[in-house]
Amino acid sequence: MAKPDIITGLDIGSSQVVAVVARHDPDAETTDVIGAARQPCAGLKGGVVINIDETARSITRAVEAAEEMAGLVGHSKGVLIGVRGGHIQTFNHHGAMNIARTDKEITASDRDQVVESTKAVPISPDREIVHVIPQDFILDRQNGVPNPIGMEAMLLEVDVHIVTASQSHLNNVWKAIARAGFDVEEPIYGLLAVGDTVVTQEEKGLGCLLVDLGGQTTGLAVYAEGSVRFTKELAVGSDAISHDLSHALRTSLVQAQKVKEMYGAASRTLAEGNVDEEIEYTSVDGRTPRRLKRAAIFDYIAPRVEEIFSLISEELQRSNYADHVAGGGVILTGGGAQLKGLAQAAEQILDLPVRMGLPQNIGGVPDIVTNPGYATALGLITYRHLGDWARSRRASRRVGLGQRLKSLVEDFF
């Protein structure tokens, strides 16, 4: 009987750090969350490190708090890292190879080799490939083959989705993690991680749009015919709503965030409770009390919600995959998705069915595993254990203090 693994996932978000500690039982094939914590981070902006020391401190606090909750203080050495931000760029690519052997039977080596061939693509010297994700294999011009091993063909082709990231931005993340005293076990594009845990295989087959609404960025992923076809990071998130409230109410961003969470909704018609009640908050000085009718705040929230989802709709149209998402609809997740009535508002604006995306196949602390704000971090801890192409064949690579992570290419087999 194998000993359960302790896995630590670290989501370097757009304005916060989220840490999750989980116990994975390889025999039972179960993953249970035993600790988690979120830490605001002034050293991050849109998923990019702008202050290494501040980010390192937030990482330390988040991991230590998650470990304390799990009763495993000081246990985490290596962490799985979720990377995000506008520096992420993605595109689809194609590879091909001839099977020269007389038997023409495709082996695992052939499959790996044709995927490897797609990495020979010209990219800027300041960028690195993070993931290469097989979408379809084509055998003698016959497409739609999910796994070609054991089949026969003279020509083996593959379509892939490639994720690249800025070397300098990645290096700054690694430095912050190293300064916090941890090693990088594996970097993972956070949007793919959350997609693997909140989108069902049936939805991926039917075609759907994943919307991961963060604080300062929004991740979009289109799935069709069982695989990811398009990904994009938008430079807008739910913090824009808080900023609007902060200016309108002449209060601090922290107070505006509390007002949004306690009394806000995507629109007045979608609000719960008495919209005409009087609410209290403090002015920007943190002391002077202020009051206003709750109904007033919807005049600032609703236009920004409409703007965000209108931008999402425009991006979906530009992707040329708008016709692929009607079957499975829209899966909405992320910390920003917790605004009351947001799913209903998104459904009206996008004219598509929308559901809230919660992590699946994960046990443990109910308040964590049912919270969309933890979805990316939860996706990280299960990413190596769930799904056919999500398993990484490579050995764990660690980056210690003063070291640099050399290779980021993932094969997904």
Using one digit for the tens of pLDDT, what is the confidence trace for 178-190?
999 998 887 889 9
Mean pLDDT of 375-386: 75
pLDDT > 70 in the chain, percent:
92
Encoded amino acid at 291, one letter: R
Mean pLDDT of 17-21: 93
Q: Which two tokens stand for residue 107?
A: 């082996």
Q: What is the pTM of this model?
A: 0.87
Predicted local distance difference test score (pLDDT) of residue 34: 93
Residue 13: what pLDDT? Answer: 81
pLDDT at 162: 93
Q: What is the mean pLDDT of residues 63-71?
A: 93
Q: CA end-to-end span of the chain, whole Å?
A: 25
How, if at all, do strands 5-12 and 78-83 pair?
Answer: parallel
Supply φ then ψ for residue 331, to 5 degrees. Answer: -110, 120
Burial 264-298 (b: 16+ CB within 10 A, else e): bbbbbebbeeebeeebebbeeeeeeeeeeebeebb
**What's the pLDDT at 3?**
62
pLDDT digits (tens, 9 = 90+) for 225-270: 999 999 999 999 999 999 999 999 999 999 999 999 999 999 999 9
Amino acid found at 178: A
* pLDDT of the residue at 174: 92
Range of 44-48, 101-105, 348-352, 377-381 with top mean pLDDT: 348-352
The residue extents of the domains of the chain are 5-86+167-194+361-382, 89-163, 200-237+303-356, 239-302
395-409 pLDDT, tens digit per residue, is: 333 333 333 333 333
Same fold, 89-163 and 239-302: no
Closest to 179 (Cα-Cα) out of 70, 53, 35: 53
Token pair recorded at residue 203: 């939805």
Fold of 5-86+167-194+361-382: Nucleotidyltransferase; domain 5 (3.30.420)
Pick the CATH number of 89-163 from 1.10.275.10, 3.20.20.100, 3.30.1490.110, 3.20.80.10: 3.30.1490.110
Amino acid at 346: A
User: Can you tell me the mean pLDDT for 281-303?
Assistant: 93
Contact 336, 237 (CB under 8 A): yes
6 pLDDT tier (thresholds 50, 70, 90): confident
Amino acid 385: pLDDT: 33
Q: Taking 50 as the threshold, does the pLDDT of residue 318 lie above it?
A: yes
pLDDT 10s digits, 83-108: 888 889 999 999 999 998 888 999 99
pLDDT band at residue 389 using 50, 70 and 90 as cut-offs: very low
> Is 359's pLDDT higher than 90?
no
> What architecture does CATH give domain 239-302?
Alpha-Beta Complex (3.90)
Round to whole Å and give the CA distance between 323 and 315.
13
Quick: pLDDT tens for 139-194.
999 988 988 999 999 999 999 999 999 999 999 999 999 999 998 887 889 999 99
Residue 5: band (very low, low, confident or very high) from pLDDT cuts 50, 70, 90: confident
Distance CA 75, CA 382 (A): 19
What's the 3-state SS for the chain? CCCCEEEEEEEECCCEEEEEEEEEECCCCEEEEEEEEEEECCCEECCEECCHHHHHHHHHHHHHHHHHHHCCCCCCCEEEEEECCCCCEEEEEEEEEECCCCCCECCHHHHHHHHHHCCCCCCCCCEEEEEEEEEEEEECCEEEECCCCCCECCEEEEEEEEEEEEHHHHHHHHHHHHHCCCEEEEEEEHHHHHHHHHCCHHHHHHCEEEEEECCCCEEEEEEECCEEEEEEEECCCCHHHHHHHHHHHCCCHHHHHHHHHHHCCCCHHHCCCCCCCEEEEECCCCCCEEEEEHHHHHHHHHHHHHHHHHHHHHHHHHCCCHHHCCCCEEEEECHHHHCCCHHHHHHHHHCCCEEECCCCCCEECHHHHCCHHHHHHHHHHHCCCCCCCCCCCCCCCCCCCCCCCCCCCCCCC
How much is the mean pLDDT over the chain?
Answer: 87
The one-letter code for the residue type at 327 is G
CATH entry, 200-237+303-356, from 3.30.420.40, 3.30.70.2740, 3.20.20.70, 3.40.50.300: 3.30.420.40
